[in-house]
Amino acid sequence: MLDMSNITKIFGDFEAVKDVSISVPDGAFLVLLGPSGCGKTTLLRMLAGLEQPTTGKIAFDGQLVSDGDTNWSVDPANRNSGLVFQSYALWPHMSVRGNVEWPLKVKKMPKAARDERVDETLKLLDIHQLADRYPNEISGGQQQRVAIARTIATKPSVMLFDEPLSNLDAKLRVEMRTELMRLHHATGATTVYVTHDQIEAMTMATHVAVMNGGVVQQFGTPQDLVDRPETAFVATFVGTPPNNLIPIDQTSGHHQVCGCKLGVTPPDGASHAMYRAEGLRVAPDAPNQSVEMVLVEISTIAGRTMITGLRDGLRLTAIVDEKPDQRVGETANFILPSKPDVWFGATGERIA
């Protein structure tokens, strides 16, 4: 349904998006995940037609909509896609009904059909009781629902979301995630969703493209990213809590952490070792393969305890069954497994 082939976007001397190729099937929920400035919103704007690729092609359902090589593009209004902005972008002088009805007027839909479609959409988003209010008379969460209703009113085949929940409080974000998933299943539209929140990505997506520095670091299902991170960046950006990435000191031919010699020899080219948080243990004493650290965080997650320690700039996190006797500010020993879960090279690549 959605195909991006060798997409590059250059602004002056800055390459914002670098040779991105992604394809997803009809009805997919694709999340573009990454930190601020990684290129994900620029990529979304190219899908919407608000930016033209410098090179590369974009196709919806087999139909070309952008060709950067020839500088050709289908007008945004003719792409059968809808975009929900981060700022909602509602017309302040129009009621909720007027905002949702506006794109249907632009498409010259007859009034009777417009009224029927608006009523249907307002009920789908559970905001029909707000139809006569204006944007300044409703809450942020309600405004977000109106923005989404306006987008789906025209029944687009591709829905685009640019960090739509970032302005909402934590509780409302969770509720709206559920609502967006319900809406996705109800409409069947292929969805592209931009966020820096990996929890949103892992709970909503069928496919995830993790971006950094304009490059797609890894593309796959949420489970793929958790089970088999292909780069050091993905390993530390995806997961709750993120994986532990430890630099290797091979001066003596062994793996050392903070001067502590561990009983495993790294493969050729390895510069970092990854340990999953659930593989670490925490103890008050100092057994073999342990690192003494200052505790900086102790919190409960789903009935288990997350413990984070800090030493000389190195941060380690463990998930354990019981809370430690030590408190934040005191020291404890983080015990590493005999073998890392993954090795990574100097440029962040995974080493088998």
Handedness of CA 340, 344, 345, 351 (dihedral sign): positive
Q: What is the DSSP string of 139-169?
A: -HHHHHHHHHHHHHTT--SEEEEESTTTTS-
Query: Is the pLDDT at 82 greater than 60, yes or no?
Result: yes
Q: Is the pLDDT of residue 278 over 90?
A: yes
Give the span between the Cα atoms of 78 and 75, in whole angstroms: 5
CATH code where residue 326 lies: 2.40.50.140
pLDDT at 209 over 90: yes
Are 224 and 266 in the same domain?
no
Task: Choose the final residue of a domain: 180, 215, 235.
Answer: 235
Three-state DSSP at 33 gives: strand
Distance from C-alpha of 77 to C-alpha of 99, rounded to nearest angstrom: 17
| pLDDT value at residue 124 | 87
The pLDDT score that the predictor gives to residue 254 is 60
> Do 296 and 193 fall within a single domain?
no
CA gap 207, 3 in Å, rounded? 13
Q: Is residue 241 reached through a cis peptide bond, with omega within 30 degrees of 0 on the bond before it?
A: yes
- The average pLDDT across 4-10 equals 97
Shared domain for 220 and 202, answered yes or no, is yes
- Listed range (30-34, 65-69, 143-147, 262-266) with the worst mean pLDDT: 262-266
Say whether pLDDT at 197 is over 70.
yes
Query: Domain check: are 172 and 45 in the same one?
Result: yes
Are residue 99 and residue 186 in the same domain, yes or no?
yes
- Domain range for 147 is 2-235
Give the pLDDT confidence of 227-277 residue by residue, as tens digits.
Answer: 999 999 999 999 888 899 988 876 655 667 666 676 677 888 888 999 999
Are 164 and 282 in a shared domain?
no
306-352 residue pLDDT tens: 999 999 888 999 999 988 888 999 999 998 888 889 999 999 999 97
**Claim to verify: residue 195 and residue 325 sit in the same structural domain:** no
pLDDT at 239: 85
Rounded Cα gap, residues 53 and 4, in angstroms: 10
Percent of the chain at pLDDT above 70? 95
pLDDT tens per residue across span 110-127 = 999 999 999 999 998 889
C-beta separation of 34 from 163 below 8 A = no
Q: What is the mean pLDDT of residues 93-106?
A: 93
Residue with tokens 């949103």: 200
Q: Does 132 lie in the same domain as 56? A: yes
Q: What is the pLDDT of residues 178-194, one digit of tens each?
A: 888 988 888 888 999 99
Task: Say yes or no: 265 and 124 in one domain.
Answer: no
The domain that holds 121 is classified in CATH as 3.40.50.300
> For residue 220, is pLDDT > 70?
yes
Let me know whether 190 and 64 are in one domain: yes
What pLDDT does 250 receive?
67
In this structure, are 64 and 167 located in the same domain?
A: yes
Last residue of a domain, one of 186, 202, 235: 235
> pLDDT digit string (tens) for 12-25?
999 999 999 999 99
Mean pLDDT of 132-154: 90
Q: Please indicate, yes or no, whether residues 176 and 199 belong to a single structural domain of this protein.
A: yes
Q: Considering only 79-93, 217-231, 306-320, which range has the smallest mean pLDDT?
A: 79-93
Per DSSP, 267 falls in state P
Overall number of domains in the chain: 2
**In contact, 300 and 288? CB cutoff 8 Å:** no
- N-terminal to C-terminal alpha carbon distance within the chain: 34
Looking at the predicted structure, is the pLDDT value of residue 202 above 80? Answer: yes
Cis before 222? omega within 30: no
Determine which of 2-6, 33-37, 287-291 has the lowest per-residue pLDDT on average: 287-291
Q: Last residue of some domain: 207, 235, 263? A: 235
